[in-house]
Chain A
Amino acid sequence: MNEVLNVLLLLFLIVCAIGVAYIRDLLSAVILFSSFGLIMAIIWQQLSAPDVAMVEAALGTGVAALLMIAAISKTKRAE
Chain B
Amino acid sequence: MPLSRRTERRGGGTAIEDQIVRITSRLVAPFIQVYGIYVILHGHLSPGGSFSGGAIFGASLVLVALSFNLETGAKQISHQLASGLESGGAFGFILTGLIAIAIGGNFLANRAAGFPMGQAGELFSAGAILIITVFVGIKVASTIVTLFYTIIEGEE
Residues of A within 8 A of B (CB): 50-51, 53-55, 57-59, 62-63, 66-67, 69-71, 73-74
Which residues of B lie under 8 Å from residue A73 when comparing CB positions?
Answer: 13, 152
> Which residues of chain B in 59-91 are interfacial with respect to chain A, using CB atoms and an 8 Å cutoff?
59, 62-63, 66
- Distance from A44 Cβ to chain B, minimum over Cβ atoms (Å): 11
Contact A54 B52, CB 8 Å, known A63-B62, A67-B148, A70-B148: yes
**Chain B, range 25-63, C-beta contacts under 8 Å to A:** 39, 47-49, 51-52, 55-56, 58-59, 62-63
Overall SS of chain A's interface: helix
What is the total number of residues of chain B having a CB less than 8 Å from a CB of chain A? 22
Contact A63 B13 (CB under 8 A): no
Q: In the bound complex, do residue B66 and residue A51 qualify as a contact, i.e. CB atoms below 8 Å apart? A: no
Q: Which residues of B contact A69 (CB under 8 A)?
A: 66
Question: Binary interface profile of B, 120-156, with partner A (CB < 8 Å = 1, else 0)?
Answer: 0000000000000000000000001001100110110
Q: Which residue of B lies closest to A66 (CB)?
A: B62
Given contacts A53-B47, A67-B147, A70-B66, could you give 18 more A-B pairs where the C-beta distance is less than 8 Å? A50-B47, A51-B49, A55-B52, A57-B52, A58-B55, A63-B59, A63-B62, A63-B144, A66-B62, A67-B148, A67-B151, A70-B152, A71-B151, A73-B13, A73-B152, A74-B151, A74-B154, A74-B155
Which secondary structure dominates chain B's binding surface?
A: helix
Q: Which residues does B use to contact A, with CB under 8 Å?
A: 11, 13, 39, 47-49, 51-52, 55-56, 58-59, 62-63, 66, 144, 147-148, 151-152, 154-155
In the complex, chain B residues whose CB is within 8 Å of the CB of A55: 51-52, 55
